[in-house]
């Protein structure tokens, strides 16, 4: 009962929801409470006031009042340090599992801001100042532990500027996600079973025959976008072309020697990287479908993406 009430209060106060676009930190979104140091100063000021009353120190009153009013005003300054800050989420490049993902956040401010701290739910915090500018990008690092989509979760942006007496904070929960590829297994030579030596070797991806559509991946060439498919509401698709020359190297999940899925995926990740590095034409064969053979960084990223998301439920933002 009590905890339910607390949850409702929390929901009303903090309105947890995931946001898109630009967030402006309005008054409603900024919360302020005294810090431990703030309480300590309050105690000190009370002591000082008692001393002033006892010894009738007029100047003591002046000093006590000055200090307490500066403390009160520091609350206003802390609020101002966050108020009307414009924030929107930027891109984040895919990383391999075990690396650190970097989420870009763009800040717009008409005033310089000092000593802002951004903290994730389970991560270290970063501290930064913002000059008065339209767009100031800040990288928020987050350790990518598992493949799949990595979310920032709810971020806390807070400041204790200028005197450390008040903690002013605001919650940010953007629909930010970063793709995390499986960790590439360190030593995994390419499979030789289903492809002869030299098979699939080709300098460039072909562009003679239309070979099908695949989903758009950031970095794909714009002329290859299938605009007609887009108009039909199928989302951004890329037209793929191949030039059939010899056999392609097929990377099959079942060929990986490991027993558990994650290790197999890790193994395949290394194969993809290796094949790309050697300039081979390669295709990906997974239990839920195949990715036609191809070559080039776009193809590599498409393969890695399939591996990253294989057998995971479709992404939905978690509130």
Phi-psi region of 191 (alpha: psi -120 to 50; beta: other; left: phi over 0): beta
Q: Tell me if 167 sits within 8 A of 34, measured CB to CB.
A: yes
Determine the Cα angle at 16 with ends 15 and 20, to 5°: 105
Q: Is 94 helix (H, G, I), strand (E, B) or coil?
A: coil
Determine the Cα angle at 155 with ends 153 and 156, to 5°: 150
Number of H helices, E strands in the chain: 6, 17
Phi-psi region of 50 (alpha: psi -120 to 50; beta: other; left: phi over 0): alpha
Nearer to another protein, 83 or 284 (CB): 83
Q: Is 286 helix (H, G, I), strand (E, B) or coil?
A: strand
Q: Which two tokens stand for residue 56?
A: 């009738």
Q: Is 265 helix (H, G, I), strand (E, B) or coil?
A: helix
Q: How far is the CB of 70 from another protein (least distance, A)?
A: 5
In angstroms, rounded to a whole number, what is the distance separating the alpha carbons of residues 165 and 73?
10
Q: How far is the CB of 121 from another protein (least distance, A)?
A: 24
Nearer to another protein, 56 or 254 (CB): 56
Q: How far is the CB of 132 from another protein (least distance, A)?
A: 9
Backbone angles phi, psi at 169, to 5 degrees: -145, 165
Nearer to another protein, 81 or 240 (CB): 81
Nearer to another protein, 12 or 55 (CB): 55
Nearer to another protein, 57 or 211 (CB): 57
Backbone angles phi, psi at 99, to 5 degrees: -90, 180
- Identify which of 286, 284, 295, 290 has the alpha carbon closest to the alpha carbon of residue 251: 284
Q: How far is the CB of 167 from another protein (least distance, A)?
A: 11
Could you identify the residue written with the tokens 């006892």? Answer: 54
Q: How far is the CB of 17 from another protein (least distance, A)?
A: 24
Nearer to another protein, 41 or 248 (CB): 41
Q: How far is the CB of 142 from another protein (least distance, A)?
A: 23
Query: Where does this chain bind another protein (CB under 8 A)?
Result: 37, 40-41, 44, 47-48, 50-70, 72-74, 76-77, 80, 83-84, 110-112, 114-115, 127, 129, 160-164
Q: How far is the CB of 39 from another protein (least distance, A)?
A: 12
Q: How far is the CB of 227 from another protein (least distance, A)?
A: 23
Nearer to another protein, 1 or 43 (CB): 43
Q: How far is the CB of 131 from another protein (least distance, A)?
A: 11
Q: Is 207 helix (H, G, I), strand (E, B) or coil?
A: coil
In angstroms, rounded to a whole number, what is the distance separating the alpha carbons of residues 107 and 101?
19
- Identify which of 307, 240, 246 has the alpha carbon closest to the alpha carbon of residue 281: 246
Nearer to another protein, 168 or 248 (CB): 168
Nearer to another protein, 129 or 135 (CB): 129
């Amino acid at each position: 009962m009590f905890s339910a009430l607390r949850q409702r209060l929390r929901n009303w106060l903090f309105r947890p929801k995931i946001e898109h676009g630009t967030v402006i930190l309005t008054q409603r979104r900024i919360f302020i409470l005294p810090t431990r140091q703030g309480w300590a100063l309050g105690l000190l000021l009370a002591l000082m006031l008692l001393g002033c009353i006892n010894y009738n120190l007029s100047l003591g009153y002046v000093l006590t009042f000055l200090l307490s009013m500066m403390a009160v005003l520091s609350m206003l300054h802390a609020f101002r340090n966050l108020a009307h800050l414009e924030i929107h989420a930027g891109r984040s490049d895919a990383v391999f599992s075990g690396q650190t993902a970097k989420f870009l956040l763009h800040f717009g401010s008409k005033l310089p801001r000092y000593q802002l701290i951004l903290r994730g739910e389970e991560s270290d915090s970063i501290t930064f100042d913002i000059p008065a500018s339209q767009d100031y990008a800040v990288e928020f690092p987050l350790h990518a532990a598992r493949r799949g989509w990595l979310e920032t979760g709810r971020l806390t942006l807070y400041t204790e500027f200028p005197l450390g007496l008040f903690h002013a904070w605001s919650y940010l929960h953007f629909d930010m996600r970063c793709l995390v590829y499986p960790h590439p297994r360190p030593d995994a030579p390419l499979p030789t079973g289903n492809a002869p030596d030299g098979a699939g070797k080709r300098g460039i991806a072909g562009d003679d025959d239309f070979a099908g559509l695949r989903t758009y991946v950031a970095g794909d060439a714009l002329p290859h976008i299938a605009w007609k498919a887009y108009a039909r509401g199928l989302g951004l698709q890329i037209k793929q072309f191949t030039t059939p020359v010899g056999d392609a190297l097929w990377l099959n999940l079942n060929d990986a020697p490991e027993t558990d899925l994650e290790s197999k995926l890790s193994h395949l990740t290394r194969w993809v990287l290796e094949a790309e590095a050697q300039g081979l034409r390669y295709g990906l064969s997974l239990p839920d479908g195949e990715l036609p053979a191809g070559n080039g960084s776009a193809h590599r990223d498409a393969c890695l993406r399939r591996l990253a998301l294989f057998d995971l439920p479709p992404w939905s933002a978690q509130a």
